[in-house]
Amino acid sequence: MAEATAPSLIPVAIEDEMRQAYLDYSMSVIVGRALPDVRDGLKPVHRRILYAMFEQGMLHNRRYSKCAGTVGEVLKKYHPHGDASVYDALVRLAQEWNLRALLVDGQGNFGSIDGDSAAAYRYTESRLTRLAEAMLADIDKETVDFVANFDDSTTEPSVLPTRFPNLLVNGSAGIAVGMATNVPPHNLGETIQSCIHLIDHPDAPLRDLLDPKLGGTLPGGIQGPDLPTGGIIMGVAPIRALYETGRGILRMRAKVEIETDKKTGRDTIVVTEVPYQVNKARAIQTIAEMVKEKKLEGISDLRDESSREGIRAVVETKRDAVTGVVLNNLYQHSALFQDTFGATLLAIDRGQPRTLGVKPLLERFIAHRRDVVTRRTRYDLRKAREREHILLGYKIALDHIDEIIAVIKASANREIASTQLQTLYALSEIQAKAILEMQLQRLTGLEKQKIVDELAEVQKLITRLEAILSSEELLLGVIKDELREVQRDFSDARRTEIVGEASDLSDEDLIADEDMVVTVSHAGYVKRNPVSLYRAQKRGGKGKTGAMTSDDDFIEQIFVASTHAYLLLFTNKGRVFWLKVHELPQAGRAARGKAIINLVPLGAEEKLAALLTVKELPKKLAAEGEEAEGEEAAAEAETPAPGDAEQTAGARDEARAAAEDAIAVSKGPYIVFVTRNGLIKRTALSAFSRPRPSGLKALSIEENDSLVSVMHARGNEDVVIGTADGMAIRFEQKEVRAMGRTAYGVKGITLEDGDHVVGAELVHSGSTLLTVTENGYGKRTTIDEYRRTHRGGKGIIDIKTTERNGKVVAMLQVTDAEEVMIITNKGMIIRTRVAEVSLIGRNTQGVRLIDLRQEGEKVVGATRAPEEREADAAAEVAAEQAAAGHEDDDGSPPDGSEDV
């Protein structure tokens, strides 16, 4: 206990000591190692390296010097840490993929963008660049404060007098304690342009410092980060946020070119510029691993063809791959193609770490330059006045040269001569000393004139320097002139392109936009398959397996839609759901698919009645739909308590009527509904653009009725309705007024007993109608043979429903360029070209479209399909190779399709 209280020992709680020690360590790391100074943009180690090289005379016009010597000098005088850290810092200053404006000119192996290490410092050599010398210019003119080094053996600058805003130009990255900085590099010319404008307009807002491409008003100003590796930055908004707040996340993308081989037709994705700070070799290796693990598809080869001429990373796609989808997947999963940069503009400002926006950063630099130029001017003025003082003494001596020589000769020693001169000619001690040291050659007439001329020049310089110190405007003018000089000598073209707005890639961006055959079974199973899986056959062919069905199930609906299209699913209960085609399960051609109830929440005894595909829903329509939905949702609020029902019923009915009227008067396009019992309704598409997860009421349907057809009306097309008994009616669409979602509709056709509607089309002149019967027969007739009547009539005969034909199952509007897919209740599908079906009259029996060979087999549906052209030939080759057990040319397995 006595020892603990001795004068040399201070008792301290361990937690207090640890807290204080850690704070001291934290501040040492923050201020003295990890973070750059806001004025010169350098960390202490980089500043010491540059100053040591400058002191050693390693200038841009001198010979290279071994890096080992530089590292040793820095360690010896300024930086008492590991040699590896000093050398790594030196190497970074010479790497063109890390710094936008190089400060060290390296000779030898200084590493690579692939992460290769630099050679040992005994092999490499370096010297300062001209731009680095601009950072050190005037350092010998008392422009900055010098502090003692770690052992008080010498001094070092606390900051460099840099002539350009290095923190923004070259950026900085460092992890301190509890904080980190990550400043992206910028273009030197743009940064200086904004800096000059801020000097002239100190109250200018941020937008006045930015180029118009970034939403600013200053042409040639800052356009955004300009990264050493080039590439693309996606989005202006994150850059503006970074410049305003000092924090932001930038999305960087590689610069990509698509090259197509004219012989094979295959595309090659070529990367010529990569995101900043991405290890190219490691990123390419990661892509190869993802291809091997089948996380990335559609890639057949991957190689790095980079050389001294530049970066060239090559990704070859498979023959059947969609290049855009492959590229989007690479953007999503590979840092070589897309990466993020978490920017933080954090630096040491007046001894404290601060996060600053771009304008405050430039203001700190300008204040630093004002201080540097002021101190330099004072230094130059002092030196000029000292020189003027000596020159005035020379002038007096030359004016009295004979007398002065006599005085000197008569003096016994130097001190007496100096005293005599000061006394006789009113000279200072400095002047007298200079006269005594003056060489005899200065006594010539020519030298005398030089002294007079020099005196005049020095006096002019003094006048100018005094004016600078007394005028803020002149002082700032000097700063601007020096900035322009650096801009003229060192600025170069911008490397990084700023493009569009940043957005996350959706699932749809990663999915090929291709046509799909969507089938829906009677039992409610749905699936999709590529159109190319079903190749075209001649009229009357036997078809190809389209789906595996059970004895009590059969294909009921079939249509073709893009994977990116919207699906509006209408049920027999009058509700509508919203899906994307790519959200449907893709199964094999003979697979059953997935129950619709697993995709949308269908109620008891509710089944899918019709589907409508819409390529896109315009934002305007979506907004209208949302507004109408809100109005109707209010009208469809929960039923009030019995005691309140009478009071609120009238208001609820009025709200519903107002909502439906708003939808009805909405501008087109419209959706046209036709039911099995012949009712028709027309409602604006905007009413269905934003269905609720639980479904949205689309129309009211009576118990003994069901939805048969849903059509997307884009103009003033006529409506044609066909029935199972072979009747058809045509009338103008405008005869059906626009109605709200909950309306029943009006009569479209009057049906005979036992008859029902099988299809409806919105027709236009020049096309034809294809009618298909359940026994596999059909016909094609021009629209003009169906005369226009009025809504609600019985119609005219379309096709004879004889015992040979059976009942009508489908009526389609087609053109010669299209193809038709016909499906039976046994799961057989045939694809035939419309042009192969002859044009015949309206009241006829038609020709055979599909050969029904199985007992009880009936046609249950038909739909249009796009023409396959070259894709059809490719499908034929794949089928033949699958039958022969061969693989495709690109090594991918065959699709396994076979004829039935």
Catalytic residues: 123
Q: Please name the residue that has the structure tokens 């629209």.
A: 783
Instruction: Kindly write down the DSSP assignment for every residue of 50-83, as one continuous string.
Output: HHHHHHTT--TTS--EEHHHHHHHHHHHT--S-H
481-482-488-489 Cα dihedral, nearest 10 degrees? 160
Beta strands, E only, 44-158? 65-66, 104-107, 125-128, 146-148, 155-157
Distances (CA, A) of 791 to 719, 735, 746: 9, 7, 9
C-alpha to C-alpha distance for 544 and 875, rounded to whole angstroms: 13
- Asked whether the beta carbons of 100 and 169 are under 8 A apart, the reply is yes
Which helix (DSSP H) or strand (DSSP E) does residue 565 occupy?
Answer: none
Q: Please name the residue that has the structure tokens 């791959």.
A: 321
Tell me which DSSP letter residue 332 carries.
H
Half-sphere exposure of residue 5: CA atoms within 13 angstroms, side-chain side: 2
C-alpha to C-alpha distance for 205 and 707, rounded to whole angstroms: 62
The sign of the dihedral angle between the CA atoms of 39, 41, 45, 46 is: negative
Alpha helices in 411-444 (DSSP H): 414-425, 429-436
C-alpha to C-alpha distance for 269 and 256, rounded to whole angstroms: 7
Q: Which residues pair with 696 in a beta bridge?
A: 576
- Give CB contacts under 8 A, 24+ apart, made by 647-655: 655/631
C-alpha to C-alpha distance for 317 and 270, rounded to whole angstroms: 11
Q: Please name the residue that has the structure tokens 């103008």.
A: 732
Angle in degrees, 0-180, between the axes of helices 188-200 and 358-399, rounded to the nearest 10:
80
Q: Which residues pair with 822 in a beta bridge?
A: 830, 862
Structure tokens at 375: 């101190």
Beta strands, E only, 764-802? 768-773, 777-782, 796-797
C-alpha to C-alpha distance for 760 and 673, rounded to whole angstroms: 9
Other Cβ atoms less than 10 A from the Cβ of 262: the count is 5
The SS3 call for residue 683 is: strand
The amino acid that residue 40 corresponds to is D
The amino acid that residue 177 corresponds to is V
The number of helix segments (H) and strand segments (E) in the chain equals 19, 41
The SS3 call for residue 896 is: coil
The SS3 call for residue 426 is: coil
Which helix (DSSP H) or strand (DSSP E) does residue 464 occupy?
Answer: helix 445-470
Structure tokens at 745: 């509709």
C-alpha to C-alpha distance for 714 and 618, rounded to whole angstroms: 13
Structure tokens at 366: 């300008």
Please, what is the Cα angle at 102 between 100 and 105, to 5 degrees? 155
Half-sphere exposure of residue 671: CA atoms within 13 angstroms, side-chain side: 26
- Asked whether the beta carbons of 242 and 355 are under 8 A apart, the reply is no
> How many Å is the Cα radius of gyration of the chain?
43
Phi then psi dihedrals of residue 388, to 5 deg: -60, -40
Other Cβ atoms less than 10 A from the Cβ of 786: the count is 20
C-alpha to C-alpha distance for 542 and 544, rounded to whole angstroms: 7
